[in-house]
């Protein structure tokens, strides 16, 4: 089982978009039983709040529901509980490392590393208003994670 935690500042836009996009990709690939996928925030600002309506609408445009999702904050134990902790921007990465007490096992990564864009950040649509651009980045990163995991399974088998 591959356990992935997507992380952004508030867990109401980017990280839930990534969580539910990834869940949809693994479902379509017929391998959802091989993954545990969730999302969380580095801040406590939005804890308990639902996915931001424009993010929810963007997911719905692609036939993806995020019903019932509410924001939660990253906990130190998430580092032990997940194989990958995927941040959307450098601030998320810094905060993740602080919350988790570092990254001794190399589990913390930027999402767009998986799309071949090392150092690139997923823009926060809370500020940009461009949920389509965020969706495209999130989808590219999630597809890259899936390709990487499929490749890893092929090398093992």
Catalytic residue among 8, 13, 66, 142: 8
Task: Give the chain's largest Cα–Cα span.
Answer: 44
Annotate 19-67 with three-state secondary structure. Answer: HHHHHHHHHHCCCHHHEEEEEEECCCCCCCCECCHHHHHHHHHCCCCCC
Decide: 11 and 19 in contact? Cβ < 8 Å.
no
100 is catalytic: no
Q: Answer positive or negative: Cα dihedral of 132, 94, 44, 100.
A: positive
Structure-token pair, residue 155: 């090398």
124 is catalytic: yes
Catalytic residue among 13, 14, 66, 137: 14
137 is catalytic: no
Of the candidates 110, 105, 104, 106, the residue with the CA atom closest to the CA atom of residue 145: 110
Catalytic residue among 13, 56, 66, 124: 124
Looking at the DSSP assignment, which residues form a beta bridge with residue 84? 4
Looking at the DSSP assignment, which residues form a beta bridge with residue 70? 50
* Residues known to be catalytic: 8, 14, 124
């Amino acid at each position: 089982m591959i356990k992935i935690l997507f992380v952004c500042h508030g867990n109401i836009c980017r990280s839930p978009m990534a969580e539910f996009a990834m869940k949809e990709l693994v479902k379509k690939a017929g391998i959802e039983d091989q993954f545990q996928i969730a999302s969380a925030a580095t801040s406590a600002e939005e804890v308990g709040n639902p996915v931001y309506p424009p993010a929810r609408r963007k997911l719905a445009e692609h036939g993806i529901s995020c019903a019932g999702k509410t924001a939660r904050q990253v906990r130190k134990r998430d580092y032990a509980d997940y194989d990958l902790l995927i941040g959307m921007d450098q601030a998320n990465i810094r905060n993740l490392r602080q919350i988790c007490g570092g990254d001794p096992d190399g589990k913390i990564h930027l999402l767009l590393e998986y799309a071949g864009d090392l150092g690139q950040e997923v823009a926060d649509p809370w500020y940009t208003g461009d949920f389509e651009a965020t969706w495209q980045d999130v989808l590219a990163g999630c597809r890259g994670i899936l390709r990487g995991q499929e490749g890893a399974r092929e090398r093992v088998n």
